[in-house]
Chain A
Amino acid sequence: DAKTTQPNSMESNEEEPVHLPCNHSTISGTDYIHWYRQLPSQGPEYVIHGLTSNVNNRMASLAIAEDRKSSTLILHRATLRDAAVYYCILRGQNNNAGNMLTFGGGTRLMVKP
């Protein structure tokens, strides 16, 4: 599986935008970029995913570089409830169970009031 590289931790101020980077220089043409987040003492939750084009949903935006070797998860206005570990994961197009989610270390986002 292609690997991702994320900073171990980041800090943000409440009400400000947050840009969480992810490098995936060995991404293949059929790999989707997924983001999950894990709040303290909870299971991970799906945030967003994309292939080539930028994506927006109610939780966040995903900006994908033109060469697809990096992406950025954007939280437009961080709240204290956004403090979590954010995981950037590559997953192939094949949605069989064997093509499962493999979690790395993620980025621990701390939000300061």
Chain B
Amino acid sequence: SQTIHQWPATLVQPVGSPLSLECTVEGTSNPNLYWYRQAAGRGLQLLFYSVGIGQISSEVPQNLSASRPQDRQFILSSKKLLLSDSGFYLCAWNKRGRYGYTFGSGTRLTVV
């Protein structure tokens, strides 16, 4: 069966520090991968998606970036965090030809 892992679950980082969140999917190959963010009390905003290794599409310009170094690994990064980067970050995947998305358990990031 397929599983999706996200870590860490919670993170407190000072303003200006770097960020690296990792997401991996097991039990499938060539998944579509997605990063979403949910600010406190707000809806989910799509940040990045990827259809394959090294292929990243950005939905919202900001100081975040994403990379896909391996087929089932998706990384969200920032060189310098802002207070506005605080939120609940969710990784998701789906398989081409399948309609359902599966979300990870999320990382709650607080920038202080």
Contacts and interface: CB of A to CB of B under 8 A. Distances in A.
A100 interface: yes
Consensus secondary structure, chain A interface: loop
A97 B97 CA distance: 10
**What is the predominant secondary structure among interface residues of chain B facing chain A?**
strand
B102 A102 contact: no
Contacts of A91: 99
Contacts of B51: 96-98
A45 B112 CA distance: 30
B34 A43 contact: no
A103 B97 contact: no
Interface string A27-57: 0000010101000011111100100000000
Contact of A105 (B43, B57, B97, B104): B43
A101 interface: yes
Interface residues of B, number: 26
Contacts of A45: 103
B12 to A, nearest CB: 16
B100 A46 contact: yes
A98 B100 contact: no
A17 interface: no
B43 A103 contact: yes
B28 to A, nearest CB: 14
Contacts of A41: 88, 106, 108
14 contacts: A34-B99, A42-B105, A42-B106, A43-B90, A43-B92, A43-B103, A43-B104, A49-B99, A95-B94, A96-B51, A97-B57, A100-B49, A101-B46, A104-B43
Would you list the 7 A-B pairs with minimal beta carbon distance, nearest first?
Answer: A43-B103, A97-B32, A103-B44, A46-B100, A97-B51, A43-B90, A97-B49
